[in-house]
Structure 1
Amino acid sequence: MNKINKDQIDPVVEPESEKIHRMSRAIISAVPVLGGPLLEGLNALIEPPMARRRTEWMTQVTEAINDLVESKGITIESLQENEKFFTVLVTASNIAIKNHLKEKLDALKNAVINSALPGAPDDVLQQIFLNLIDNCTTWHIAILKLYHGPVQWAQENGHIFPDWSMGGIPSVIESAYPELNGQREVYNIVWQELNRYGLINTDNIAITMTVSGMLSKRTTSIGDMFLEFISSPKVP
Protein backbone atom coordinates (compact mmCIF):
# COMPACT_ATOMS: atom_id res chain seq x y z
CA MET A 1 0.00 0.00 0.00
CA ASN A 2 1.27 3.49 -0.80
CA LYS A 3 2.49 5.57 2.11
CA ILE A 4 3.60 9.15 2.57
CA ASN A 5 7.31 9.86 2.14
CA LYS A 6 8.37 11.83 5.21
CA ASP A 7 11.46 13.13 3.41
CA GLN A 8 9.21 15.20 1.16
CA ILE A 9 7.69 17.19 4.01
CA ASP A 10 8.50 20.86 3.48
CA PRO A 11 6.90 24.03 4.88
CA VAL A 12 4.75 25.90 2.38
CA VAL A 13 3.16 28.75 4.34
CA GLU A 14 5.37 31.34 5.99
CA PRO A 15 4.00 32.20 9.45
CA GLU A 16 4.45 35.63 11.02
CA SER A 17 7.43 34.59 13.14
CA GLU A 18 9.17 33.32 9.99
CA LYS A 19 8.68 36.72 8.38
CA ILE A 20 10.21 38.37 11.44
CA HIS A 21 13.18 36.03 11.26
CA ARG A 22 13.62 36.71 7.54
CA MET A 23 13.34 40.47 8.06
CA SER A 24 15.94 40.33 10.85
CA ARG A 25 18.32 38.51 8.52
CA ALA A 26 17.76 41.09 5.79
CA ILE A 27 18.32 44.04 8.12
CA ILE A 28 21.51 42.61 9.61
CA SER A 29 22.81 41.67 6.17
CA ALA A 30 22.28 45.26 5.02
CA VAL A 31 24.65 46.61 7.70
CA PRO A 32 28.21 46.04 6.37
CA VAL A 33 29.92 46.14 9.76
CA LEU A 34 27.45 43.81 11.43
CA GLY A 35 26.64 41.52 8.50
CA GLY A 36 28.62 38.29 8.53
CA PRO A 37 29.39 37.24 12.11
CA LEU A 38 26.21 38.65 13.64
CA LEU A 39 24.05 37.11 10.95
CA GLU A 40 25.62 33.71 11.53
CA GLY A 41 25.10 34.20 15.26
CA LEU A 42 21.44 34.93 14.67
CA ASN A 43 21.09 31.79 12.58
CA ALA A 44 22.78 29.70 15.27
CA LEU A 45 20.67 31.20 18.05
CA ILE A 46 17.28 31.35 16.34
CA GLU A 47 16.48 28.47 14.05
CA PRO A 48 13.27 29.50 12.33
CA PRO A 49 10.90 28.27 15.06
CA MET A 50 7.74 27.87 13.05
CA ALA A 51 9.50 25.93 10.31
CA ARG A 52 10.88 23.54 12.91
CA ARG A 53 7.52 23.11 14.61
CA ARG A 54 5.76 22.56 11.32
CA THR A 55 8.24 19.91 10.22
CA GLU A 56 8.05 18.09 13.57
CA TRP A 57 4.25 18.19 13.50
CA MET A 58 3.92 16.94 9.94
CA THR A 59 6.42 14.17 10.64
CA GLN A 60 4.27 12.97 13.56
CA VAL A 61 1.10 13.15 11.48
CA THR A 62 2.75 11.34 8.57
CA GLU A 63 3.86 8.49 10.83
CA ALA A 64 0.35 8.24 12.28
CA ILE A 65 -1.25 8.23 8.82
CA ASN A 66 1.13 5.52 7.63
CA ASP A 67 0.18 3.45 10.70
CA LEU A 68 -3.46 4.05 9.78
CA VAL A 69 -2.84 2.79 6.24
CA GLU A 70 -1.26 -0.37 7.62
CA SER A 71 -3.72 -1.14 10.42
CA LYS A 72 -7.04 0.12 9.03
CA GLY A 73 -6.64 -0.51 5.31
CA ILE A 74 -7.28 3.13 4.43
CA THR A 75 -5.55 4.33 1.27
CA ILE A 76 -3.74 7.61 0.66
CA GLU A 77 -6.00 8.11 -2.36
CA SER A 78 -9.14 7.89 -0.23
CA LEU A 79 -7.69 10.42 2.22
CA GLN A 80 -6.96 12.81 -0.64
CA GLU A 81 -10.63 12.68 -1.58
CA ASN A 82 -11.89 13.00 2.00
CA GLU A 83 -12.86 16.67 2.46
CA LYS A 84 -13.71 16.18 6.14
CA PHE A 85 -10.26 14.74 6.82
CA PHE A 86 -8.52 17.52 4.88
CA THR A 87 -10.40 20.24 6.79
CA VAL A 88 -9.43 18.70 10.12
CA LEU A 89 -5.81 18.27 9.00
CA VAL A 90 -5.48 21.93 7.97
CA THR A 91 -7.23 23.25 11.09
CA ALA A 92 -5.26 20.99 13.44
CA SER A 93 -1.99 21.95 11.73
CA ASN A 94 -2.66 25.65 12.28
CA ILE A 95 -3.32 24.99 15.96
CA ALA A 96 -0.28 22.72 16.31
CA ILE A 97 2.10 25.40 15.06
CA LYS A 98 1.09 27.56 18.05
CA ASN A 99 1.77 24.85 20.62
CA HIS A 100 4.72 22.99 22.06
CA LEU A 101 3.06 20.89 24.78
CA LYS A 102 2.98 17.17 24.02
CA GLU A 103 -0.53 16.67 25.45
CA LYS A 104 -2.09 19.15 23.04
CA LEU A 105 -0.05 17.95 20.06
CA ASP A 106 -1.08 14.36 20.78
CA ALA A 107 -4.72 15.43 21.01
CA LEU A 108 -4.46 17.18 17.65
CA LYS A 109 -2.72 14.23 16.01
CA ASN A 110 -5.38 11.83 17.30
CA ALA A 111 -8.12 14.17 16.08
CA VAL A 112 -6.65 14.08 12.58
CA ILE A 113 -6.48 10.29 12.57
CA ASN A 114 -9.95 9.79 14.05
CA SER A 115 -11.47 12.14 11.48
CA ALA A 116 -10.48 9.64 8.78
CA LEU A 117 -12.11 6.65 10.45
CA PRO A 118 -15.69 5.38 10.05
CA GLY A 119 -18.03 6.78 12.69
CA ALA A 120 -16.14 10.06 13.06
CA PRO A 121 -18.17 12.98 14.49
CA ASP A 122 -19.94 15.20 11.98
CA ASP A 123 -18.31 18.34 10.60
CA VAL A 124 -19.85 20.66 13.20
CA LEU A 125 -18.75 18.58 16.17
CA GLN A 126 -15.26 18.14 14.74
CA GLN A 127 -14.82 21.89 14.42
CA ILE A 128 -16.18 22.40 17.95
CA PHE A 129 -13.75 19.80 19.28
CA LEU A 130 -10.79 21.37 17.45
CA ASN A 131 -11.73 24.77 18.89
CA LEU A 132 -11.80 23.18 22.34
CA ILE A 133 -8.30 21.76 21.89
CA ASP A 134 -7.15 25.22 20.81
CA ASN A 135 -8.76 27.00 23.76
CA CYS A 136 -8.20 24.44 26.50
CA THR A 137 -5.06 24.05 28.57
CA THR A 138 -3.44 20.73 29.33
CA TRP A 139 -5.15 20.87 32.74
CA HIS A 140 -8.55 21.00 31.06
CA ILE A 141 -7.71 17.79 29.23
CA ALA A 142 -6.18 16.13 32.30
CA ILE A 143 -9.11 16.89 34.61
CA LEU A 144 -11.61 15.85 31.95
CA LYS A 145 -9.80 12.52 31.56
CA LEU A 146 -9.80 12.07 35.34
CA TYR A 147 -13.55 12.62 35.66
CA HIS A 148 -14.34 10.42 32.70
CA GLY A 149 -14.14 7.86 35.50
CA PRO A 150 -11.79 8.38 38.47
CA VAL A 151 -11.74 4.70 39.43
CA GLN A 152 -10.78 3.60 35.92
CA TRP A 153 -8.29 6.49 35.68
CA ALA A 154 -6.61 5.30 38.90
CA GLN A 155 -6.35 1.74 37.59
CA GLU A 156 -4.86 2.86 34.28
CA ASN A 157 -2.36 5.21 35.94
CA GLY A 158 -1.36 3.04 38.90
CA HIS A 159 -2.78 5.55 41.39
CA ILE A 160 -4.27 4.74 44.79
CA PHE A 161 -6.74 7.25 46.21
CA PRO A 162 -6.81 7.76 50.00
CA ASP A 163 -9.36 5.84 52.04
CA TRP A 164 -11.85 8.68 52.26
CA SER A 165 -15.26 8.41 53.92
CA MET A 166 -16.42 11.88 52.93
CA GLY A 167 -14.89 14.69 50.92
CA GLY A 168 -15.17 16.61 47.70
CA ILE A 169 -14.03 16.81 44.11
CA PRO A 170 -11.02 19.02 45.03
CA SER A 171 -9.59 16.16 47.13
CA VAL A 172 -9.77 13.82 44.13
CA ILE A 173 -8.17 16.35 41.79
CA GLU A 174 -5.31 17.12 44.19
CA SER A 175 -4.72 13.42 44.88
CA ALA A 176 -4.57 12.61 41.17
CA TYR A 177 -2.48 15.66 40.32
CA PRO A 178 -0.28 16.72 43.28
CA GLU A 179 1.01 19.63 41.19
CA LEU A 180 -2.38 21.25 41.79
CA ASN A 181 -2.14 21.13 45.58
CA GLY A 182 -2.84 24.63 46.82
CA GLN A 183 -3.95 25.69 43.33
CA ARG A 184 -7.69 25.50 43.91
CA GLU A 185 -8.35 28.85 42.25
CA VAL A 186 -6.67 27.53 39.10
CA TYR A 187 -8.46 24.21 38.81
CA ASN A 188 -11.75 25.77 39.88
CA ILE A 189 -11.54 28.00 36.79
CA VAL A 190 -10.69 24.95 34.68
CA TRP A 191 -13.67 23.04 36.09
CA GLN A 192 -16.07 25.93 35.55
CA GLU A 193 -14.94 26.23 31.94
CA LEU A 194 -15.35 22.50 31.35
CA ASN A 195 -18.88 22.82 32.70
CA ARG A 196 -19.58 25.87 30.54
CA TYR A 197 -18.32 24.00 27.47
CA GLY A 198 -20.82 21.23 28.25
CA LEU A 199 -18.13 18.62 28.90
CA ILE A 200 -18.75 18.22 32.67
CA ASN A 201 -22.19 17.86 34.26
CA THR A 202 -21.40 19.39 37.65
CA ASP A 203 -20.97 23.13 38.08
CA ASN A 204 -19.91 23.35 41.73
CA ILE A 205 -16.96 21.48 43.22
CA ALA A 206 -17.39 22.99 46.70
CA ILE A 207 -19.77 20.27 47.88
CA THR A 208 -19.08 17.61 50.51
CA MET A 209 -20.20 14.14 49.44
CA THR A 210 -19.64 10.44 50.02
CA VAL A 211 -16.64 8.72 48.51
CA SER A 212 -18.96 7.19 45.92
CA GLY A 213 -19.94 10.69 44.80
CA MET A 214 -16.34 11.85 44.85
CA LEU A 215 -15.32 9.08 42.46
CA SER A 216 -18.38 9.23 40.19
CA LYS A 217 -18.08 9.89 36.47
CA ARG A 218 -18.84 13.55 35.68
CA THR A 219 -18.32 13.83 31.93
CA THR A 220 -21.32 14.43 29.67
CA SER A 221 -22.02 12.53 26.45
CA ILE A 222 -20.36 15.38 24.54
CA GLY A 223 -17.40 15.19 26.92
CA ASP A 224 -17.13 11.47 26.22
CA MET A 225 -17.20 12.08 22.47
CA PHE A 226 -14.55 14.77 22.79
CA LEU A 227 -12.25 12.46 24.74
CA GLU A 228 -12.72 9.69 22.19
CA PHE A 229 -11.94 12.13 19.37
CA ILE A 230 -8.64 13.23 20.97
CA SER A 231 -7.56 9.76 22.09
CA SER A 232 -5.46 7.30 20.15
CA PRO A 233 -7.76 5.11 18.03
CA LYS A 234 -8.12 1.56 19.22
CA VAL A 235 -6.35 -0.95 17.00
CA PRO A 236 -8.22 -4.28 16.76
Structure 2
Amino acid sequence: MDKDKKKDIGYAIAKAGLGSIPIVGAAASELLQLIVIPPLEKRRSEWMEQIGQKLKDLEEKETVDFQSLQENDVFIDVVLQCTQEVIKTSEKEKIEYFQNAILNTANGENPELAEIQIFLNFISDFTIWHIKILKLFDEPNDWFDKNNKTVPNFMGAGLSSILDIAYPELKGRREFYHLIWDDLQRAGMHKTSGLHTTMTGSGLMVSRTTKFGKKFLNFITENPID
Protein backbone atom coordinates (compact mmCIF):
# COMPACT_ATOMS: atom_id res chain seq x y z
CA MET A 1 0.00 0.00 0.00
CA ASP A 2 1.47 3.40 -0.92
CA LYS A 3 2.16 6.02 1.77
CA ASP A 4 -0.60 8.39 0.68
CA LYS A 5 -3.23 5.64 0.88
CA LYS A 6 -2.00 4.60 4.34
CA LYS A 7 -2.11 8.22 5.43
CA ASP A 8 -5.70 8.65 4.19
CA ILE A 9 -6.90 5.50 5.94
CA GLY A 10 -5.04 6.43 9.11
CA TYR A 11 -6.67 9.84 9.08
CA ALA A 12 -10.11 8.31 8.62
CA ILE A 13 -9.55 5.89 11.51
CA ALA A 14 -8.35 8.71 13.77
CA LYS A 15 -11.34 10.81 12.80
CA ALA A 16 -13.71 7.95 13.58
CA GLY A 17 -12.06 7.40 16.97
CA LEU A 18 -11.98 11.01 18.04
CA GLY A 19 -15.36 12.08 16.74
CA SER A 20 -18.40 12.40 18.97
CA ILE A 21 -21.24 9.92 18.61
CA PRO A 22 -23.35 12.05 16.21
CA ILE A 23 -20.61 12.05 13.56
CA VAL A 24 -19.36 8.49 13.95
CA GLY A 25 -21.68 7.39 11.15
CA ALA A 26 -20.28 9.92 8.74
CA ALA A 27 -16.70 9.10 9.71
CA ALA A 28 -17.35 5.37 9.33
CA SER A 29 -18.87 6.00 5.93
CA GLU A 30 -15.75 7.90 4.88
CA LEU A 31 -13.57 5.02 6.06
CA LEU A 32 -15.70 2.50 4.20
CA GLN A 33 -15.36 4.50 1.00
CA LEU A 34 -11.58 4.53 1.35
CA ILE A 35 -11.56 0.75 1.76
CA VAL A 36 -14.18 -0.23 -0.82
CA ILE A 37 -14.14 2.34 -3.62
CA PRO A 38 -10.56 1.75 -4.90
CA PRO A 39 -11.07 -2.03 -5.39
CA LEU A 40 -14.39 -1.37 -7.13
CA GLU A 41 -12.74 1.10 -9.47
CA LYS A 42 -10.01 -1.44 -10.13
CA ARG A 43 -12.59 -4.11 -10.96
CA ARG A 44 -14.41 -1.77 -13.32
CA SER A 45 -11.19 -0.67 -15.04
CA GLU A 46 -9.91 -4.24 -15.51
CA TRP A 47 -13.30 -5.38 -16.78
CA MET A 48 -13.62 -2.60 -19.36
CA GLU A 49 -10.07 -3.22 -20.55
CA GLN A 50 -10.73 -6.95 -20.98
CA ILE A 51 -13.96 -6.41 -22.89
CA GLY A 52 -12.42 -3.69 -25.03
CA GLN A 53 -9.56 -5.99 -26.03
CA LYS A 54 -11.90 -8.87 -26.83
CA LEU A 55 -14.09 -6.64 -29.00
CA LYS A 56 -11.01 -5.27 -30.74
CA ASP A 57 -9.94 -8.84 -31.53
CA LEU A 58 -13.36 -9.54 -33.04
CA GLU A 59 -13.21 -6.37 -35.13
CA GLU A 60 -9.76 -7.30 -36.46
CA LYS A 61 -11.22 -10.63 -37.55
CA GLU A 62 -14.05 -8.68 -39.18
CA THR A 63 -16.58 -10.45 -37.00
CA VAL A 64 -18.08 -7.27 -35.58
CA ASP A 65 -18.34 -3.66 -36.66
CA PHE A 66 -17.92 -0.99 -33.98
CA GLN A 67 -20.27 1.44 -35.71
CA SER A 68 -23.02 -1.16 -35.77
CA LEU A 69 -22.46 -1.99 -32.11
CA GLN A 70 -22.82 1.66 -31.14
CA GLU A 71 -26.25 1.65 -32.75
CA ASN A 72 -27.28 -1.72 -31.29
CA ASP A 73 -29.51 -1.03 -28.29
CA VAL A 74 -29.60 -4.69 -27.24
CA PHE A 75 -25.81 -4.83 -27.16
CA ILE A 76 -25.62 -1.62 -25.12
CA ASP A 77 -28.21 -2.98 -22.66
CA VAL A 78 -26.20 -6.19 -22.25
CA VAL A 79 -22.93 -4.34 -21.68
CA LEU A 80 -24.50 -2.10 -19.03
CA GLN A 81 -26.19 -4.96 -17.17
CA CYS A 82 -23.09 -7.17 -17.27
CA THR A 83 -20.85 -4.34 -16.09
CA GLN A 84 -23.09 -3.65 -13.10
CA GLU A 85 -23.03 -7.32 -12.13
CA VAL A 86 -19.30 -7.85 -12.68
CA ILE A 87 -18.42 -5.03 -10.30
CA LYS A 88 -20.35 -6.89 -7.59
CA THR A 89 -18.46 -10.20 -7.86
CA SER A 90 -14.92 -11.49 -7.48
CA GLU A 91 -15.78 -14.92 -8.96
CA LYS A 92 -13.69 -15.37 -12.10
CA GLU A 93 -16.09 -17.92 -13.60
CA LYS A 94 -19.02 -15.51 -13.39
CA ILE A 95 -16.95 -12.69 -14.87
CA GLU A 96 -16.08 -15.01 -17.76
CA TYR A 97 -19.75 -15.90 -18.29
CA PHE A 98 -20.72 -12.21 -18.42
CA GLN A 99 -17.88 -11.57 -20.85
CA ASN A 100 -19.02 -14.39 -23.11
CA ALA A 101 -22.58 -13.06 -22.99
CA ILE A 102 -21.36 -9.71 -24.31
CA LEU A 103 -19.20 -11.25 -27.02
CA ASN A 104 -21.98 -13.56 -28.21
CA THR A 105 -24.37 -10.62 -28.30
CA ALA A 106 -21.82 -8.64 -30.33
CA ASN A 107 -21.54 -11.57 -32.76
CA GLY A 108 -25.29 -11.66 -33.20
CA GLU A 109 -25.41 -15.18 -31.75
CA ASN A 110 -27.96 -14.37 -29.12
CA PRO A 111 -31.57 -15.14 -28.16
CA GLU A 112 -34.31 -12.53 -28.07
CA LEU A 113 -33.98 -9.66 -25.60
CA ALA A 114 -36.35 -11.18 -23.02
CA GLU A 115 -34.33 -14.42 -22.93
CA ILE A 116 -31.06 -12.48 -22.74
CA GLN A 117 -32.32 -10.66 -19.65
CA ILE A 118 -33.41 -13.94 -18.09
CA PHE A 119 -30.03 -15.55 -18.83
CA LEU A 120 -28.09 -12.63 -17.37
CA ASN A 121 -30.21 -12.85 -14.23
CA PHE A 122 -29.43 -16.56 -14.04
CA ILE A 123 -25.69 -15.84 -14.10
CA SER A 124 -26.20 -13.39 -11.23
CA ASP A 125 -28.54 -15.56 -9.16
CA PHE A 126 -27.02 -19.00 -9.73
CA THR A 127 -23.95 -20.12 -7.82
CA ILE A 128 -20.95 -21.43 -9.73
CA TRP A 129 -22.08 -24.91 -8.64
CA HIS A 130 -25.39 -24.47 -10.45
CA ILE A 131 -23.59 -23.96 -13.74
CA LYS A 132 -20.98 -26.66 -13.09
CA ILE A 133 -23.69 -29.24 -12.43
CA LEU A 134 -25.72 -28.09 -15.43
CA LYS A 135 -22.66 -28.42 -17.70
CA LEU A 136 -21.92 -31.90 -16.36
CA PHE A 137 -25.39 -33.22 -17.13
CA ASP A 138 -25.68 -31.42 -20.45
CA GLU A 139 -23.30 -33.87 -22.14
CA PRO A 140 -21.86 -36.25 -19.50
CA ASN A 141 -19.69 -38.23 -21.94
CA ASP A 142 -18.08 -35.08 -23.31
CA TRP A 143 -17.56 -33.69 -19.81
CA PHE A 144 -15.72 -36.80 -18.62
CA ASP A 145 -13.58 -36.90 -21.78
CA LYS A 146 -12.56 -33.26 -21.42
CA ASN A 147 -11.73 -33.72 -17.74
CA ASN A 148 -9.83 -37.00 -18.21
CA LYS A 149 -12.09 -38.93 -15.86
CA THR A 150 -13.46 -42.43 -16.26
CA VAL A 151 -16.97 -43.56 -15.43
CA PRO A 152 -17.34 -47.13 -14.06
CA ASN A 153 -19.58 -49.54 -15.96
CA PHE A 154 -22.64 -49.20 -13.76
CA MET A 155 -25.27 -51.92 -14.06
CA GLY A 156 -27.67 -49.54 -12.40
CA ALA A 157 -27.24 -46.33 -10.44
CA GLY A 158 -28.59 -42.83 -9.96
CA LEU A 159 -27.31 -39.57 -11.40
CA SER A 160 -25.90 -38.78 -7.95
CA SER A 161 -23.26 -41.47 -8.61
CA ILE A 162 -22.11 -39.55 -11.69
CA LEU A 163 -22.05 -36.34 -9.68
CA ASP A 164 -19.94 -37.94 -6.93
CA ILE A 165 -17.37 -39.15 -9.46
CA ALA A 166 -17.22 -35.81 -11.27
CA TYR A 167 -17.04 -33.75 -8.07
CA PRO A 168 -15.87 -35.82 -5.07
CA GLU A 169 -16.07 -32.68 -2.91
CA LEU A 170 -19.87 -32.92 -3.14
CA LYS A 171 -20.04 -36.37 -1.54
CA GLY A 172 -22.20 -36.31 1.55
CA ARG A 173 -23.69 -32.91 0.66
CA ARG A 174 -27.07 -34.18 -0.54
CA GLU A 175 -29.08 -31.24 0.79
CA PHE A 176 -26.76 -28.83 -0.99
CA TYR A 177 -26.82 -30.39 -4.43
CA HIS A 178 -30.51 -31.32 -4.21
CA LEU A 179 -31.28 -27.64 -3.65
CA ILE A 180 -29.24 -26.76 -6.74
CA TRP A 181 -30.88 -29.50 -8.81
CA ASP A 182 -34.33 -28.28 -7.84
CA ASP A 183 -33.37 -24.68 -8.66
CA LEU A 184 -32.24 -25.75 -12.12
CA GLN A 185 -35.45 -27.67 -12.71
CA ARG A 186 -37.62 -24.72 -11.68
CA ALA A 187 -35.60 -22.55 -14.06
CA GLY A 188 -36.42 -24.94 -16.91
CA MET A 189 -32.79 -26.00 -17.33
CA HIS A 190 -33.21 -29.78 -17.10
CA LYS A 191 -35.92 -32.43 -17.42
CA THR A 192 -35.10 -34.97 -14.69
CA SER A 193 -36.85 -34.94 -11.34
CA GLY A 194 -34.55 -37.04 -9.13
CA LEU A 195 -30.82 -37.63 -8.77
CA HIS A 196 -31.26 -40.98 -7.03
CA THR A 197 -33.61 -42.77 -9.43
CA THR A 198 -31.91 -45.97 -10.57
CA MET A 199 -31.24 -46.23 -14.31
CA THR A 200 -28.97 -48.17 -16.66
CA GLY A 201 -25.35 -47.24 -17.24
CA SER A 202 -26.13 -45.87 -20.69
CA GLY A 203 -29.10 -43.95 -19.31
CA LEU A 204 -26.83 -42.17 -16.84
CA MET A 205 -24.86 -40.59 -19.69
CA VAL A 206 -27.82 -39.18 -21.62
CA SER A 207 -28.10 -35.39 -21.84
CA ARG A 208 -30.49 -34.04 -19.21
CA THR A 209 -30.72 -30.40 -20.28
CA THR A 210 -33.72 -28.90 -22.02
CA LYS A 211 -33.45 -26.83 -25.21
CA PHE A 212 -33.74 -23.79 -22.95
CA GLY A 213 -30.87 -25.08 -20.81
CA LYS A 214 -28.68 -25.69 -23.85
CA LYS A 215 -29.48 -22.22 -25.14
CA PHE A 216 -28.39 -20.75 -21.82
CA LEU A 217 -25.11 -22.70 -21.78
CA ASN A 218 -24.37 -21.69 -25.36
CA PHE A 219 -25.01 -18.04 -24.53
CA ILE A 220 -22.49 -18.04 -21.65
CA THR A 221 -19.85 -20.08 -23.49
CA GLU A 222 -17.18 -18.50 -25.64
CA ASN A 223 -17.68 -19.50 -29.24
CA PRO A 224 -14.34 -19.71 -31.05
CA ILE A 225 -13.93 -17.46 -34.07
CA ASP A 226 -11.58 -18.59 -36.84
Query: Do these two structures clear the TM 0.5 threshold for a shared fold by scoring above it?
Result: yes
* 2: CA distance, partners of 1:33 / 1:175: 54
Instruction: Give the deviation of 1:32 after TM superposition.
Output: 11
The answer as to whether partners of 2:9 and 2:34 remain within 8 angstroms in 1 is: no
Once the two structures are aligned, what percentage of the paired residues are identical? 38
1:72 and 1:142, CA in 2 relative to 1: closer, same or farther beyond 3 A? farther
Q: Which residue is equivalent to 2:79? A: 89
Is 1:212 equivalent to 2:205 in the alignment? no
Gaps of 5+ in 1: 1-23, 35-40
Q: Which residue is equivalent to 1:140? A: 130
Match of 1:117 among 107, 113, 119: 107
Match of 2:12 among 28, 35, 43: 28
* 1: CA distance, partners of 2:11 / 2:197: 60
* 2: CA distance, partners of 1:30 / 1:146: 52
* 2: CA distance, partners of 1:32 / 1:101: 32
Q: Which has the higher helix share?
A: 2
Q: Which residue is equivalent to 1:154? A: 144
Q: Which residue is equivalent to 1:226? A: 216
Is 1:127 equivalent to 2:111 in the alignment? no
Match of 1:197 among 187, 193, 196: 187
Counting matched residue pairs gives 207
Q: Name the aligned partner's letter for residue 95 of structure 2.
A: L
Q: Which residue is equivalent to 1:38? A: none
Q: Name the aligned partner's letter for residue 150 of structure 2.
A: I
Question: TM-score by structure 1 length?
Answer: 0.80
CA-to-partner distance for each residue in 1:178-218, whole Å, 9 max, x for gaps?
12111121111111100000011112212111111211100
5 Å matches for 1:155-174? 155-174=145-164
1:118 and 1:29, CA in 2 relative to 1: closer, same or farther beyond 3 A? same
Is 1:53 equivalent to 2:53 in the alignment? no
CA-to-partner distance for each residue in 1:160-179, whole Å, 9 max, x for gaps?
11232211111111111112
Gaps of 5+ in 2: 1-7, 19-30
* 2: CA distance, partners of 1:101 / 1:91: 17
Q: Name the aligned partner's letter for residue 230 of structure 1.
A: I
